[in-house]
Amino acid sequence: MKNAGKSFYIFIAILLAFIGWGGFNWLRFLSHGPGLTGSSDVVPWGIYISGLAYFIGVSAGATIVGLLIHAFGRHDYEPVGIRAILLGLLCIFGATQFVLVDLGVPFRGLKVPIILHNLTSLFLISSSSYYGFMAILSGELYFSIKVATGKASERDKKMAKWLGIIAVPYALWIVHAFTGSIFGVVKAREMWNTPMLPVHFVISAIASGFAMVILVAVITSKVEKRDLLSNETLNHMGKILAFFVLLTLFLDFFDYFILRYSAKKEAMEGWHILTGRYLPIFLINEGGLILSLLILTFKKGRTANGLLLATSIIQVAIIAYRIDLVSVGQLAPLFPGMGELYYHPTLSEISVALGLIALVILLYAVLSKVLPMEETAPEPVYASRGLGKTLWKKNKKRYMEVRN
């Protein structure tokens, strides 16, 4: 591996330790039963489904960079282009692993997205769409790397461009909005059953995914001690991010506002739990978004350091939103008199989640070293003369004469 120092290997060792801890605990789930997690019959879905929603969101949001490069012609984003694709691919992989560890009988679940058992199940539709998304992102990654290493034909360049553009509606509409609909169609749970939910999911996905790309870019610049992106590009990224954070806040506000005035008593109870016993998570979610928006409004906040802070806060806030939605959304009892419901994740449950996050980080760290992430082709002679490639080919003989 090129330019991998001692600290890199220490980092990898720490990640491996987390993966080992999580993997050990997952094996315990398989042998003893999923009772080692904090989920229960009253709160069937815990942090793993929150993790699924979060990782799908990051994956879908990261495709926005491809759209900016290929459709809007922002070629200054190109240094993070391949990084964003790789991030998207690894995050969708991580999301499927979150589903896998949540299943009671995981190895039966592997074939579900391929064999279409029950098409009315949103779980089936969205998990099948993850496979298609992985295929699109893999193709995009392959062609983009070909372009970056200078081995691409014109057709390959077109493929990279169009896959990058197609990935965005596919990710936002099919992958992530359907993941939001998994919760949206559940009429038994008042906090989930709203047509706003797919929209809310998509917007918060763009916020978290785009923020994650910026975070990765800034960290890469810091680690490699060079400027991956220019200050103008960072400024522009910060502005786009601020817009989507604002939209997320807007949707959050009206989602909870309508919930507060809902006709259903379950919704009232949900609102009381959200702002009562589970207030800290709610505050982290909303406070984090407001704080990051404040940082991003100032020009100083849209520099490398400011963005590092703001995007990290956004990640924490969006994770809090997913936990609020998935777990706290189930805490309103279905019948009065069922008692006070709670959900506390256990240490082994958290360790598996940390192990999966470490796995995604490890894969990213290794693959971003192995694969070419930016244009590495040596500058051809003609480029320095300010001539296009076609022009060079056409008048090759004359130029050679001039040079000699």
Q: Residue type at 258?
A: I
Spatial CA neighbour of 140 closest among 209, 192, 89: 89
Q: How far is the CB of 342 from other proteins (least distance, A)?
A: 6
With CB under 8 A as the contact rule, the residue among 58, 99, 307, 319 that binds other proteins is: 99
Q: Tokens for 303?
A: 């520099």
Q: How far is the CB of 227 from other proteins (least distance, A)?
A: 46
Task: Kindly list the distances between the CA atom of residue 320 and the CA atoms of 93, 189, 240, 277, 324, in Å, as whole numbers in the listed order.
Answer: 21, 19, 22, 15, 6
Residue 332's CB is within 10 A of a number of other CB atoms, namely 22
Residue 96's CB is within 10 A of a number of other CB atoms, namely 17
Q: Which stretch binds other proteins (CB under 8 A): 171-179, 290-298, 339-347, 376-384?
A: 339-347
Q: Residue type at 283?
A: L
Q: What is the dihedral of CA 162, 167, 172, 173, to 10 degrees?
A: 70
Q: How far is the CB of 318 from other proteins (least distance, A)?
A: 21
- Would you call 388 exposed, middle or buried from its count of C-beta atoms within 10 A (0-12, 13-18, 19+)? exposed
Q: Is 330 in the site for other proteins (CB under 8 A)?
A: yes
With CB under 8 A as the contact rule, the residue among 10, 27, 33, 222 that binds other proteins is: 33
Pattern 266-285, binding to other proteins, x per CB under 8 A? x-xx--x-------------
Q: Is 50 in the site for other proteins (CB under 8 A)?
A: no
Comparison of 243 and 342: residue with beta carbon closer to other proteins: 342
Q: How far is the CB of 115 from other proteins (least distance, A)?
A: 5
Cβ–Cβ < 8 Å for 82, 369: no
Q: How far is the CB of 88 from other proteins (least distance, A)?
A: 24
Comparison of 199 and 341: residue with beta carbon closer to other proteins: 341
Q: Tokens for 55?
A: 């990782």
Cβ–Cβ < 8 Å for 334, 188: yes
Tell me the Ramachandran region of residue 264: left when phi exceeds 0, alpha when psi lies from -120 to 50, beta otherwise. beta
Q: How far is the CB of 256 from other proteins (least distance, A)?
A: 16
Cβ–Cβ < 8 Å for 160, 152: yes
- HSE (side-chain half, CA atoms, 13 Å) at 400: 5
Q: Is 261 in the site for other proteins (CB under 8 A)?
A: no
Q: Is 116 in the site for other proteins (CB under 8 A)?
A: yes
Tell me the Ramachandran region of residue 230: left when phi exceeds 0, alpha when psi lies from -120 to 50, beta otherwise. beta
With CB under 8 A as the contact rule, the residue among 3, 13, 155, 337 that binds other proteins is: 337
How many Å apart are CA 363 and CA 93, to the nearest integer?
10
Q: Is 155 in the site for other proteins (CB under 8 A)?
A: no
Comparison of 48 and 93: residue with beta carbon closer to other proteins: 48
Comparison of 33 and 388: residue with beta carbon closer to other proteins: 33
Q: Is 398 in the site for other proteins (CB under 8 A)?
A: no
Q: How far is the CB of 21 from other proteins (least distance, A)?
A: 22
Q: Is 119 in the site for other proteins (CB under 8 A)?
A: yes
Q: Is 380 in the site for other proteins (CB under 8 A)?
A: no
Q: Is 264 in the site for other proteins (CB under 8 A)?
A: yes
Q: Is 256 in the site for other proteins (CB under 8 A)?
A: no
Those residues whose C-beta lies under 8 Å from the C-beta of residue 361, and which sit 6 or more positions away, are: 15
Q: Which stretch binds other proteins (CB under 8 A): 111-119, 142-150, 283-291, 372-380?
A: 111-119
Binding to other proteins (CB under 8 A) within 299-318 occurs at none
Comparison of 127 and 311: residue with beta carbon closer to other proteins: 127
Q: Tokens for 48?
A: 């793993």
How many Å apart are CA 119 and CA 351, to the nearest integer?
34
Spatial CA neighbour of 286 closest among 252, 310, 255: 252
Pattern 342-371, binding to other proteins, x per CB under 8 A? xx----------------------------
Q: Which stretch binds other proteins (CB under 8 A): 181-189, 237-245, 248-256, 382-390?
A: 181-189
How many Å apart are CA 66 and CA 73, to the nearest integer?
10
Q: Is 340 in the site for other proteins (CB under 8 A)?
A: yes
Contact positions vs other proteins (CB under 8 A): 32-35, 38-45, 99, 102-106, 108-109, 112, 115-124, 127, 182, 185-189, 264-266, 268-269, 272, 330, 333-343
